[in-house]
Amino acid sequence: MRKYLTTACGIAISAAFVTEAAATEWNVSLWGKRRAFTEHVEKLAELVSEKTGGEFTMNISYGGLSKNRENLDGISIGAFEMAQFCAGYHPDKNRVVTVLELPFLGVNTLEEEVAVASAIYAHPAAAEEMAQWNARLLMTSPMPQYNIVGTGDPAQKLADFEGMRVRATGGLGRAFEAVGAVPTSVTATEAFQAMESGVVDTVAFAQHAHLSFGTINEADWWTANLNPGTVNCPVVVNIDAYDALSDAEREALDSSIPEALDHYLTNYADLLARWDSVLEEKGVQKVEIDPAVIDEFRAKAATPARDAWIKEMEAQGIPGQELYDLVQTTLKEAQGGS
């Protein structure tokens, strides 16, 4: 009897060990705090855990695993399994997706942003470049067109941007530079301090970031319709970690992406719906730029930036023209064109 009990206990312990060993736990590196910009990652973790009965879980860290500029490096060495980053933080490492940061692309909605980003992420050139960092593009973090907050007299005409120190990264930075501004690429988490200390005069962000990082609290005004472009911030996974998933885990992850993005879009729509009341509450003037001024801005920034980007990419063996054309054809389809 003792022998049988010992054997039974051994089997039970072994079974418990196998069950524990079979569980998959991923670390996810984000930054700042939970906000509209991270809701799809939070939803993804929730869905994956539900679909796998808690056997595949994600530990989401806001700054505890890596600095935001170093998330792609962390993915490349397997320091964590999933991360979010913004292309403008290191455009030399993610050249392909920077096509999505070109100024005045014509994207009007978050749904259109998802469409064009998904098309670029699926392009072989994007997958090949990310593979150099052992990274797989999973989903985008769609953001509305950026607008700027500032102090003092609001920017009303193009001459007002001359010499303006603006926090703007990537293609946005180059757009402002084209009209005489002085862009600086401090990270999102550094933007409030840069504005408070006078290092920058203005900050370009999407609405959620002005709230989350406190720049709206320093602002006297906000441009409602400048809409020069946005930044692209992918969520990526470590290729080795992704390949190591079981078929069921991989299915749970991949199948949850559309619902996670839908949740993100719904949540962001709520923020946009109450944005005017946020401005009123904080005493921030809503500035409408004259359409003629915006046209002038577009003429100075859009075509030169596009042509320079395509030329630079083609010189590096990246199909710049093809990628830009893909954005435009996808956008036309998303907007109901033929």
- d(CA 42, CA 102) in angstroms, rounded, equals 28
Residue 109 and residue 121 in one domain: yes
DSSP lists the bridge partners of residue 203 as: 149, 167
Backbone angles phi, psi at 129, to 5 degrees: -65, -45
In tens, the pLDDT along 259-269 reads 999 999 999 99
Contacts of 97 (CB under 8 A, 6+ apart): 87, 117, 120, 121, 126, 137, 232, 234
Among 272, 292, 326, identify where a domain stops: 272
In tens, the pLDDT along 158-170 reads 999 999 999 998 8
Residue 151 and residue 50 in one domain: no
- Structural domain contains residue 13: no
Residue 183 and residue 237 in one domain: no
Q: What's the confidence (pLDDT) of residue 186?
A: 87
Residue 30 and residue 113 in one domain: yes
Instruction: State the CATH number of the domain containing residue 93.
Output: 3.40.190.170
Per-position pLDDT tens, the chain of length 338: 444 445 445 554 444 444 445 799 999 999 999 999 999 999 999 999 999 999 999 999 999 999 999 999 999 999 999 999 999 899 999 999 999 999 999 998 999 999 999 999 999 999 999 999 999 999 999 999 899 999 999 999 999 999 999 999 888 898 999 999 999 988 899 999 999 999 999 999 999 999 999 999 999 999 999 999 999 999 999 999 999 999 999 999 999 999 999 999 999 999 889 999 999 999 999 999 999 999 999 999 999 999 999 999 999 999 999 999 999 999 999 998 75
Domain that holds residue 259: 24-142+232-272
Residue 186 and residue 116 in one domain: no
The SS3 assignment for 117 reads helix
- Structural domain contains residue 71: yes
Burial 39-78 (b: 16+ CB within 10 A, else e): bbbbbbbbbbbebbeebbebebeeeebbebebbbbbbbee
Residue 222 and residue 284 in one domain: yes
- d(CA 205, CA 7) in angstroms, rounded, equals 63
DSSP lists the bridge partners of residue 29 as: 61, 83
Residue 58 and residue 167 in one domain: no
Backbone angles phi, psi at 126, to 5 degrees: -70, -45
- Structural domain contains residue 19: no
